[in-house]
């Protein structure tokens, strides 16, 4: 039975029993305490906590999930995976144990012909929480499971939570006995490899607090209502129903693994090391594909870091399998899109964008592997020079953070060099970085408030009505006030406050559009609004400071936005839509929007692209957009179904998730996009769009920045004045300026090279004189010399080597030259072979000089370079070197 059919049967069974089928939520978690969705119940968490009223009493879903705490175990075992799908049925204060338990048993044991999964009853075992007598009795008396196949387990095994504060409760699990060939008898408590968990019924009764591990947390109290959260791993079910040994051999994973084996000319099952790499590739390619499809882009923080690590582990393991410089991710991603596309049709529609992101990351990382290896070699050399055996955590973190070098590759290569890595230091630095990113993201949306506070306001006051499409001011009522994240009844002058209104004209930051600013006025009170956010769906929070009086919950207020700011932002937003369309026309449909920011008079637009966009394309897009502005096309917004929107060809933001009813914004027949932002009435109101340039902001993602309206006019006016000044200064017509300036720059560069050659020649001209004037110290020719200020470090080195080369091979000689190339002194020492035979070493001598100069340095025995911070000490440094030479020879 294929995975897609397993999912269809599950959903159909529960739909027939009054459950609303809910589509999978995005892997990007709405909960600010999570980076990615790790469990099937996460989208329903506010309902379990009573923060929101569920629109249905019963629900069923197939939820995409990603977990990465055990990522290092992926491939090493056949149990661990980063991406999985949870089939779940949920009750929100409706049914409880007495219905959930029979539902699970019926679906599992009903014959395949009747729509079930056909599990033999005598091969199913059950576990319950150690003191849950009610569940044990239901299994035994109501369902008929023999008492000897019902086992009790403790909190670590049969009590469930997400690992963070939230809903929790005891659970009962169903296990399938795969037979004696998989392990010993005795049920799940004896061997969980033979007895495979297939279903978990969680009875949500309590709310847990913060704490570590599976048992070390407090129970804060009862939930508002007893609910049910069940989970059945789709991949694990597929392994059983498809008659394979593990999740890597099911239909949606093995096809990727098999193609990877074919491409790298390996065979699964012959070599354990190759098998591990193939399993890593199969799991990670599927995970990466699903993350990119949900709008995650590779980066160095948060979920972007998770994706980057997953993709780069795939690429590295392909190299371990022998891929060399070949790029195989495109073909493997195509297989992932194909096998997962039956359950998630949007994958096939978004395939060009998914390929664009993953292909670019592969190209980038293959380059990183080349350059990063050189950086790694330098770090190893430094470590060994210090006679150390451990590569520092700082060095490993820099390799990862600056050069994108994965820690597992650093560990492996260090081991080959006989070194260890300070993993604890590396992990600490990584954790600090992630915590900062996570805290910043949470603070932006919630203002560091407990999200449950917002949920309580939403539950009490209902969804906030947004009036901003048609109104710039409105009468409203204060339905919530927060100070420092806590609800308060009133706030006085000077207080930083968060205000929730029943209805508002203020636009909350979202969809790339910056938030509105303005004022909220009550009787005798005024709040200056500087930011507006939507921390939970349906709620709008106005952040600002009380400038006078006292504002109270229940006050009738007048809310007014900054109209000029709104108009400027709206112009930017409409321009972004048009530039998006322009780039798609120029580069193809793979130029999918990957982010934007619409601010007053200025916008930036991020999109997927394999490489830099030529200047000619930028000019063409700019010309096309401005030609549309002249036509003054009407800008219309309307609501329709998501299916109708797609049929109309409306662009949806890549990775963005939409409800069944969507809002479309169209600029005449030129541009049509799904969008919730504010826009101008006609394209002519934009005035002018001026593209400033484009750049890379990450693998496979380019950023265009542009000005619109008066800001664009002002920019061009300044440019015109500048060109006029240059034309006057150079006595050339405007159209001649590029050629004239190019000629000047060419002549300047030639003159600089000639000057550098002359300076170098002057420095080296004294080489013969210095060699002739060498002093004899215990039979060794010694030259110490201060070069003129401004002599480059390279010329100092050349001079030292030139002087050294003028002595006969059998004459011991040492040369030390110092100077000040810029604002810091440099010393170079050179010792010939005969001099090294007398015990003189360039590295040691330059170290003496550098110490006197207040710095450090070193190098090989024949030539070395160092520096410091005290130019005035060059004489002392050369004197110290002479003394060191004399002592060594004496």
Q: Is the dihedral of CA 559, 562, 564, 570 positive or negative?
A: negative
For 41-72, the DSSP string reads TGGGHHHHHTSS--S-SEEEEEEEEE--TTGG
- The residue written with tokens 């890597």 in the block is 248
Is 577 part of any known ligand binding site? yes
Q: How many CB atoms lie within 10 A of CB 2?
A: 16
User: Up-side HSE of residue 378: CA atoms within 13 Å toward CB?
Assistant: 8
Is 65 part of any known ligand binding site? no
Cα–Cα distance between 571 and 581 in angstroms, integer? 16
Token pair belonging to 771: 């060699």
Token pair belonging to 648: 């109309």
Is 542 part of any known ligand binding site? no
CB distance 593 to 297 below 8 Å: no
Token pair belonging to 62: 């197939």
Cα–Cα distance between 480 and 463 in angstroms, integer? 12
User: Up-side HSE of residue 579: CA atoms within 13 Å toward CB?
Assistant: 35
* Alpha helices, DSSP H, located in 447-515: 451-461
CB distance 219 to 166 below 8 Å: no
Beta bridge partners of 527: 520, 546
> How far is residue 530 from each of residues 457, 466, 520, 667, 881, measured CA to CA in Å?
21, 18, 11, 30, 64
Question: Quick one: 812 exposed, middle or buried, by C-beta within 10 A (0-12, 13-18, 19+)?
Answer: buried
Q: Is the dihedral of CA 499, 504, 507, 510 positive or negative?
A: positive
Strands 20-22 and 58-66, by their bridges, are parallel
Helix and strand totals (H; E) in the chain: 26, 35
Packing angle, helices 737-764 and 710-730, rounded to 10: 60
Is 785 part of any known ligand binding site? no
Token pair belonging to 878: 């050369």
Contacts of 545 (CB under 8 A, 6+ apart): 494, 495, 496, 497, 527, 528, 530
Q: Which residues are annotated as a binding site for Zn(2+)?
A: 573, 577, 675, 679
Q: Which residues are annotated as a binding site?
A: 573, 577, 675, 679
């Amino acid at each position: 039975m294929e995975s897609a059919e397993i999912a269809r049967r599950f959903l159909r069974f529960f739909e027939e029993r009054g459950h609303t089928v809910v589509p999978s939520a995005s892997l990007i978690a709405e909960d600010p305490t999570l980076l990615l969705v790790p469990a099937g119940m996460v989208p329903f968490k506010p309902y379990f906590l009573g923060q929101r009223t569920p629109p249905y009493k019963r629900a069923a879903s197939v939820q995409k999930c990603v977990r990465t705490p055990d990522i290092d175990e992926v491939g090493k075992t056949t149990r661990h995976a980063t991406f999985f799908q949870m089939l779940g049925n949920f009750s929100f204060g409706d049914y409880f144990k007495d219905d959930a338990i029979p539902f699970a048993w019926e679906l599992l044991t009903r014959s395949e012909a009747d729509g079930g999964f056909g599990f033999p009853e005598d091969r199913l075992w059950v576990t319950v929480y150690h003191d849950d007598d009610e569940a044990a009795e239901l299994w035994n008396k109501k369902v008929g499971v023999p008492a000897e196949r019902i086992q009790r387990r403790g909190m670590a095994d049969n009590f469930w939570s997400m690992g963070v504060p939230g809903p929790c409760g005891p659970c009962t699990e169903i296990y399938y006995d795969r037979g004696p060939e998989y392990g010993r008898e005795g049920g799940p408590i004896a061997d969980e490899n033979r007895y495979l968990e297939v279903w978990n019924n969680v009875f949500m009764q309590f709310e847990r607090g913060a704490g570590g591990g599976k048992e070390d947390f407090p129970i804060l109290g009862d939930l508002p209502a007893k609910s049910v959260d069940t989970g059945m791993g789709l991949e694990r079910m597929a392994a059983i129903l498809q008659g394979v040994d593990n999740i890597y051999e099911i239909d949606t994973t093995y096809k990727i693994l098999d193609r990877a084996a074919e491409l790298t000319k390996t065979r699964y099952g012959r070599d354990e090391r190759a098998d591990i790499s193939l399993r890593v590739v199969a799991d990670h390619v599927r995970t990466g594909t699903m993350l990119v499809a949900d709008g995650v882009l590779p980066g160095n923080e948060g979920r972007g870091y998770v994706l980057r690590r997953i993709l780069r582990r795939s690429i590295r393991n392909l190299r371990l399998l022998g891929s060399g410089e070949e790029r195989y991710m495109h073909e493997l991603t195509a297989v992932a899109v194909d096998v997962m596309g039956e359950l998630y049709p949007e994958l096939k529609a978004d395939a060009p964008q998914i390929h664009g992101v993953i292909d670019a990351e592969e190209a980038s990382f293959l380059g990183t592997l080349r350059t990063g290896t050189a950086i790694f070699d330098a770090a190893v050399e430094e470590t060994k020079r210090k006679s150390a055996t451990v590569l520092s955590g700082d060095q490993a973190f820099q390799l990862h953070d600056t050069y994108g070098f994965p820690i597992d590759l650093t560990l492996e290569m260090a081991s080959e060099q006989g070194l260890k890595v300070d993993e604890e230091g590396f992990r600490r630095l990584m954790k600090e970085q992630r915590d900062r990113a996570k805290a910043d993201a949470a603070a932006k949306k919630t203002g560091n408030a407990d999200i449950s506070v917002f949920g309580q306001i939403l539950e009490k006051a209902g969804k906030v009505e947004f009036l901003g499409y048609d109104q710039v001011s409105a009468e409203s009522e204060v339905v919530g006030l927060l100070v420092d994240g806590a609800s308060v009844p009133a706030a006085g002058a000077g207080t930083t406050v968060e205000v929730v209104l029943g209805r508002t004209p203020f636009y909350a930051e979202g969809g790339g559009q910056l938030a509105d600013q303005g004022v909220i006025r009550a009787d005798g009170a005024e709040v200056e609004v500087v930011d507006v956010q939507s921390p939970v769906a349906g709620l709008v929070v106005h952040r600002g400071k009380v400038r006078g009086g006292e504002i109270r919950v229940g006050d009738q207020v007048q809310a007014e936005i900054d109209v000029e700011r709104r108009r400027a932002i709206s112009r930017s937003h409409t321009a972004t839509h048009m530039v998006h369309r322009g780039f798609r026309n120029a580069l193809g449909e793979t130029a999918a929007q990957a982010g934007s920011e619409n601010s007053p008079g200025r916008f930036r637009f991020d999109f997927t692209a394999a490489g830099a966009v030529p200047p000619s394309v930028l000019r063409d897009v700019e010309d096309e957009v401005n030609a549309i502005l002249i036509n003054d096309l009407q800008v219309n917004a309307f609501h329709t179904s998501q299916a109708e929107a797609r049929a109309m060809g409306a662009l949806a933001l890549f990775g963005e998730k939409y409800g069944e009813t969507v809002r479309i914004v169209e600029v005449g027949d030129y541009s049509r996009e799904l969008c919730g932002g504010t826009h101008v009435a006609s394209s002519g109101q934009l005035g002018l769009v001026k593209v400033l340039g484009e750049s890379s902001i990450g693998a496979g993602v380019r950023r265009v920045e542009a000005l619109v309206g008066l800001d664009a006019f002002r920019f061009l006016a300044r440019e015109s004045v500048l060109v006029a000044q240059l034309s006057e200064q150079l006595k050339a017509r405007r159209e001649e300026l590029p050629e004239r300036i190019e000629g000047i720059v060419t002549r300047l560069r030639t003159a600089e090279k000639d000057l550098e050659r002359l300076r170098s020649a002057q420095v080296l001209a004294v080489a013969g004189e210095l060699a002739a004037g060498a002093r004899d110290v215990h039979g060794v020719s010694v030259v110490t010399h201060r070069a003129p200020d401004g002599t480059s470090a390279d010329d100092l080195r050349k001079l030292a080597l030139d002087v050294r080369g003028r002595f006969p091979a059998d004459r011991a000689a040492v040369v030390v030259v110092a100077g000040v190339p810029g604002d810091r002194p440099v010393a170079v020492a050179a010792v010939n072979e005969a001099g090294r035979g007398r015990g003189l070493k360039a590295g040691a001598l330059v170290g003496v000089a550098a110490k006197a100069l207040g710095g450090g340095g070193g190098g090989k025995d024949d030539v070395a370079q160092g520096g410091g911070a005290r130019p005035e000490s060059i004489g002392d440094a050369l004197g110290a070197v002479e003394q060191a030479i004399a002592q060594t020879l004496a």
